[in-house]
Structure 1
Amino acid sequence: MENSIKKNILQLLNNLSDEIPELKTANENTKLYNGFGGCLDSLALVSLVADLEELLSEEFDKEIILADEKMMSARNSPFKDV
């Protein structure tokens, strides 16, 4: 399941690579959020998380919520990398 989720994240990042060229070579160590040295601003991160929630909800046929207010402001954010 973990590999499937990583594959979905990398697929979504690849879809963004036309707008953000740094994502063409994204891998599981790619830094995401620019607050942590990544290439996504807050709006792009929210969009990525929303797209990923939708994709995973469809794949696993369950409602999936990846972000809430606490996660988005956490010091050790789960969104700093893939």
Structure 2
Amino acid sequence: MISLRAGDLLLVGRQASVQFSKPILFRVIRVLDRPTYDGWIWLEGYQIDKKGDAVDRRSIFVMKAGLHVAPACRGNRGDHARPARGR
């Protein structure tokens, strides 16, 4: 089972919950302190697109054992600095 921290990038699919029949990338903001069933958790974070950009802020209810650390995708923080915008 993985330990979750703010900033973690997860691959959330069917193993985490049947609502994710099509897997998504999810960047964790925090683990919510809500009562749940044993082994399940609420996460708050951002759905991430293939370019590494946040496209939607979400709260998701998932089985912790079904979560997987996602392989790094281009554009994620720490990969490289984004170029500064010109004025």
Normalised by the size of structure 1, how large is the TM-score? 0.23
Larger proportion of strand: 2
Larger proportion of helix: 1
Structure of higher CA gyration radius: 2
